[in-house]
Amino acid sequence: MPPHIKSRWIIFLLVGCFYVLPVQAQRSVPSLSGRVVDQADILSTTTERTLSSLLVAHEDATSNQVVVLTIPSLEGEVLEEYSLRVAETWRLGTAENDNGVLLLIAHTDRKIRIEVGYGLEGDLPDVAASRIINNVIVPEFRSGDFDGGVLAGTQAILGTIEGTYYPSDIAVAEGFDDIPWGFRLIFGGMFMGIPGIFLTLAVFTITGAMRWVMYFFLLPFFAIGSFVLTASGMGVLIVLMLYTLIFWGVPMIPRVRKVRERADKAFKSGKSAKIGPFTVSSSSSSGGWSSSSGSSWSSSGSSFSGGGGSFGGGGASGGW
């Protein structure tokens, strides 16, 4: 064969491989044989029956279609792309509500994906799906209990959609993991640092019923600040215990008690008293403190309220 013909055949083969290889890299979508498709063979017969019963009951009650798929391997395909292709091929959920969910487990790749239809993104947002993967399924998988992990994960998915599943404190804190530490320190410091100044004033100067007003006024600031810093319910509890101990315990120290007595006398006599950088007097009917520069504070009109937020997305991925 002449050299120029050989060259053409080589070019033709290379071009053909260029188009064929990507097609071969795509893993095939299995047939939808049931609500549990265990191609990886990691589930017991009992677990498959239990899962099928749960999913049938949920679909009958809500029309939501939730399906579990396990595969041996992704065969080189991207988890999110394959999961979406399966969900679209199977057309999970109804056409009117787009209320389908796919729980996909790739055994050899050790990857998990929860794919959520448009109609259920509000009931099962990506952050909730991530919590279910990382806090419910992954711990069971790491211990080798695939039956327990898939069953618990499926129950958490159904419970979240139905509004009956509530994650633990660890799961609630999951959303803070991606927030940079620098931002958390600044934001948490603001919520605890500035109220700390008022805490010092309350300890040394404020008397009577105003102390209770100040105590409950500052409490939410320390709670939010400690949660941002620690992302833990236990961390919030420890900080609030310390806050309460300082607020009510420090005034019992003899030296601090003398300072408070001076402040109390100033209020009752109508005179002013110098307490550190602050000047205490009863110049107003409600009582208060003022600094030497003339700034003042009053408990009237003080309030604290939180804001609301929303979550949305197509699902979440994880691994073990």
Domain 36-174 fold is Diaminopimelate Epimerase; Chain A, domain 1 (3.10.310)
pLDDT in tens, 169-215: 444 444 455 556 666 677 777 777 777 777 777 776 666 677 788 78
- Per-chain mean pLDDT for the chain: 73
89-122 per-position pLDDT tens digit: 888 888 888 888 999 999 999 999 999 988 888 8
Higher pLDDT, 173 or 316: 316
Positions of CATH 3.10.310.50 in the chain: 36-174
pLDDT at 256: 64
Mean pLDDT of 294-299: 39
For helices 233-249 and 181-204, give the axis angle rounded to 10 degrees.
Answer: 20
Distant-in-sequence, close-in-space partners of 154: CB < 8 Å, separation ≥ 6: 51, 54, 55, 66, 68, 103
Among 184, 157, 139, which Cα is nearest to 59's?
157
Residue 70 has pLDDT above 70, yes or no: yes
State phi, psi for 150 to the nearest 5 degrees.
Answer: -70, -40
Q: What is the pLDDT of residue 206?
A: 67
- pTM of the prediction? 0.51
Whether 79 shows a pLDDT value over 50: the answer reads: yes
CA–CA dist 172, 167 (Å, integer): 6
> How many whole angstroms separate alpha carbon 231 and alpha carbon 131?
14
